[in-house]
Amino acid sequence: NEDRERAWRESRETKLESIPNCEACAKPTPEEVQGWAQSFDKLMKSPAGRNVFREFLRTEYSEENMLFWLACEELKTECNKHTIDEKARMIYEDYISILSPKEVSLDSRVREVINRKMQEPSSHTFDDAQLQIYTLMHRDSYPRFLNSAIYKSLLQTVSHSSSES
C-alpha cells in the first residue's frame, strides 16, 4: 500500500511538472486542502489549489477557463501601456477569438464589451469576461472537482502524510 501511494505521489508530481505555466507552490497543508471544500475563493486564492483544480479541469477539457482567468490576473498587474496592449491582444487571440481552439464560453453582451474595449485595451479590458468565467467554474466545475478522484485522493494523501509525522 505504501509503495502504491508513493508511486501515485511521484506520478502526480511529474504530472504537475509537465503542466505548462504551472505555478510554483509549496505542498498544501491538510487544513489548506480541506479549506478548498469550504469555499471556491479559498481554492482560487491558493497557488496549490489552482494547480490541482487546473489538473482537474484538464480532465474535463476545460483547462482554458483557468488559463484565461490566470492571464487576466496577470494583466491586472501590468502598468506599462505597451505591455498591456500586447498582453490584451494575446489574451484576445488565445481565449476570446472565435478562431481560437482555446476559446472560452462567453455571452454575446460580454463579447461586444470586449470588442469595444479592445480599441484602447487596459488592464481591466477582460474584467466582465473574467467574472463570467470565474462564475462558470464556481457553479459548474467546482462541485464536480470536490467529488473528483483527484481531490479525494489528494485529501487522503495529505491527511495520511500529516498523521505520519
The per-residue pLDDT for range 112-142, each reduced to its tens digit, is 999 999 999 999 999 999 999 999 999 999 9
What does the block give as the cell for 40?
471556491
pLDDT at 160: 77
pLDDT at 49: 95
Instruction: Please report, for the chain, the start and end positions of each structural domain, with discontinuous segments joined by +.
Output: 34-158
pLDDT at 24: 56
Does the domain at residues 34-158 carry the CATH identifier 3.40.190.10? no
Other CB atoms within 10 Å distance of the CB of residue 111: 14
What does the block give as the cell for 16?
504537475
- Rounded to two decimals, what is the model's pTM? 0.81
